[in-house]
Amino acid sequence: MTMTNYEIIQKLAKKHNAEKEEFIRLLTSADEADFELLGRLARKLTLKIYGNKIFIRGLIEISSYCKNDCLYCGIRRSNKNAVRYRLDKEQILQCCNKGYKLGFRTFVMQGGEDKFFTDDYLCDVIKEIKKRYPDCAVTLSLGERGEESFKRLYAAGADRYLLRHETADNEHYKKLHPQSMSLANRKKCLFDLKKIGYQTGAGFMVGSPYQTAQTLCEDLLFLKELNPQMCGIGPFIPHHDTPFADKSKGSTRLTLMLLSIVRLLLPNVLLPATTALATAQANGHKEGVLHGANVIMPNLSPLEHRKDYSLYDNKISTGDEAAESVEHLKKSMKSVGYEVVTDRGDYKS
Ligand code: 5AD
């Protein structure tokens, strides 16, 4: 007997799992009432586990150089129009100093895959951050590296690592990435990171070219298998200087629905209301939180470089997205019943 969407949602909320066919049904046929119910149950579960607290992370975009050529990304190697910059140790520390005063207790160093950032260089920066701010967590988001490298960075003090899997379907992965990259290696990195002890983040774009309900279902099944501590989900937004310039952007409604589904699937997951969501939809942060998100990652990069970390068109770095505006973010979260906290905001297991 096939289950109704209502029954699938109740099962997800109780058992934190569903069958492949059930996910696909939900993804292809959820109506307004289903969407609402998913959002309501996801928010309720978040409140039960993390309370009404919103964790903030200061995002420091340390390099717009990248050796990869992902077809969706504005800082891909073959984009000759991209402005390239990288921050040095001193500039990164200045960002942390500013962020600490603003109340940030997690610093995320994100960048393209840039050979400049060797293990030695990064270990030195990580150690210095941990020495100056022992009460802060350091998160890295620097793409694929070898297991030994991940181990060294962890030993130097890194606490978390974000590496979106992008899609868990092999054929789809090949359509989004150059031949030099593979889903198998991406997955290996993620399992290595978890094994080493990092709080690990996976994730994917919603509405990326060639994505289907089937590939999204693979994403959900993979997430359940990996059981990451974090999961980044945002709509695909085309960048004009990429092969996907003319592809259409992902749906924000489907993004919100997937946030809710992932919350129900992985109850304790730290789930950001992403910059891409806030770029695609006014009130994106609030909507994300109302659908089960509990993390926001404001931009803490040096102001003069923000426009150059251009992963997709019109990527916002002002308003509630800017670390400088954290007071405003606090007010907007308060208006929907949530409290932005000064806290490392670790995973609750
Ligand atoms: N639209 C939305 N998200 C994108 N990312 C890269 N390019 C785009 C785009 N065009 C996301 C990827 C990557 C993260 C840092 O940004 O999922 O993992």
Q: What is the pLDDT of residue 320?
A: 86
Q: Give nearest CA residue, ligand 1 atom 3.
A: 236
Q: Is 236 in the pocket of ligand 1 (CB under 6 A)?
A: yes
Alpha carbon of 253 to ligand 1 centroid (Å): 18
Let me know: does 308 contact 74? Beta carbons within 8 Å. no
Alpha carbon of 205 to ligand 1 centroid (Å): 7
Q: Which of 278, 277, 177, 167 is nearest to 213 (CA)?
A: 167
pLDDT in tens, 241-299: 999 999 999 999 999 999 999 999 999 999 999 999 999 999 999 999 999 999 999 99
Half-sphere exposure of residue 93, counting CA atoms within 13 Å on the CB side? Answer: 14
Q: What does the pLDDT average to over 16-20?
A: 97
Q: What is the pLDDT of residue 234?
A: 98
pLDDT in tens, 186-237: 999 999 999 999 999 999 999 999 999 999 999 999 999 999 999 999 999 9
Q: What is the pLDDT of residue 38?
A: 98
Q: Is 311 in the pocket of ligand 1 (CB under 6 A)?
A: yes
In a 10 Å sphere around its CB, with 0-12 CB exposed, 13-18 middle and 19+ buried, how is residue 90 labelled?
A: exposed
Q: What is the pLDDT of residue 103?
A: 98
pLDDT in tens, 301-347: 999 999 999 999 999 988 888 999 999 999 999 999 999 999 999 99
Q: Is 276 in the pocket of ligand 1 (CB under 6 A)?
A: yes
**CA 212 remoteness from chain centre:** 20
Alpha carbon of 2 to ligand 1 centroid (Å): 36
Q: What is the pLDDT of residue 318?
A: 84
Residues pairing with 234 in the sheet: 205
Ligand 1 atom with the smallest distance to the CA of 249 is 1
Q: Is 72 in the pocket of ligand 1 (CB under 6 A)?
A: yes
Half-sphere exposure of residue 48, counting CA atoms within 13 Å on the CB side? Answer: 11
pLDDT in tens, 121-162: 999 999 999 999 999 999 999 999 999 999 999 999 999 999
Ligand 1 atom with the smallest distance to the CA of 313 is 10
Confidence at 12, pLDDT banded by 50, 70, 90: very high
Let me know: does 107 contact 270? Beta carbons within 8 Å. no
Using CA atoms, how far residue 96 sits from 108, 110, 116, 157, in Å, is 10, 13, 20, 15
Q: Is 312 in the pocket of ligand 1 (CB under 6 A)?
A: yes
Q: Give nearest CA residue, ligand 1 atom 14.
A: 164
Record the pTM: 0.98
pLDDT in tens, 35-61: 999 999 999 999 999 999 999 999 999
Alpha carbon of 173 to ligand 1 centroid (Å): 14
Ligand 1 atom with the smallest distance to the CA of 311 is 7
Alpha carbon of 232 to ligand 1 centroid (Å): 10
Q: Supply 181's token pair.
A: 């990259």
Ligand 1 atom with the smallest distance to the CA of 238 is 10
Q: Give nearest CA residue, ligand 1 atom 13.
A: 164
| pLDDT of 1 over the 80 cut | no
Let me know: does 230 contact 271? Beta carbons within 8 Å. yes
Q: Which of 5, 55, 20 is nearest to 294 (CA)?
A: 55
Share of the chain above pLDDT 70, in %: 100
Q: Give nearest CA residue, ligand 1 atom 18.
A: 164
Q: Which of 52, 58, 2, 59 is nearest to 26 (CA)?
A: 2
Confidence at 168, pLDDT banded by 50, 70, 90: very high
Q: Is 219 in the pocket of ligand 1 (CB under 6 A)?
A: no
Mean of the per-residue pLDDT values of the chain:
97
Q: What is the pLDDT of residue 223?
A: 98
Q: Is 233 in the pocket of ligand 1 (CB under 6 A)?
A: no
| pLDDT of 77 over the 90 cut | yes
**Side chain identity, residue 259:** L
Sheet containing strand 160-162, edge to edge, reads 58-63, 106-111, 137-141, 160-162, 199-206, 230-235
Q: Is 122 in the pocket of ligand 1 (CB under 6 A)?
A: no
Q: Is 61 in the pocket of ligand 1 (CB under 6 A)?
A: no
Confidence at 21, pLDDT banded by 50, 70, 90: very high
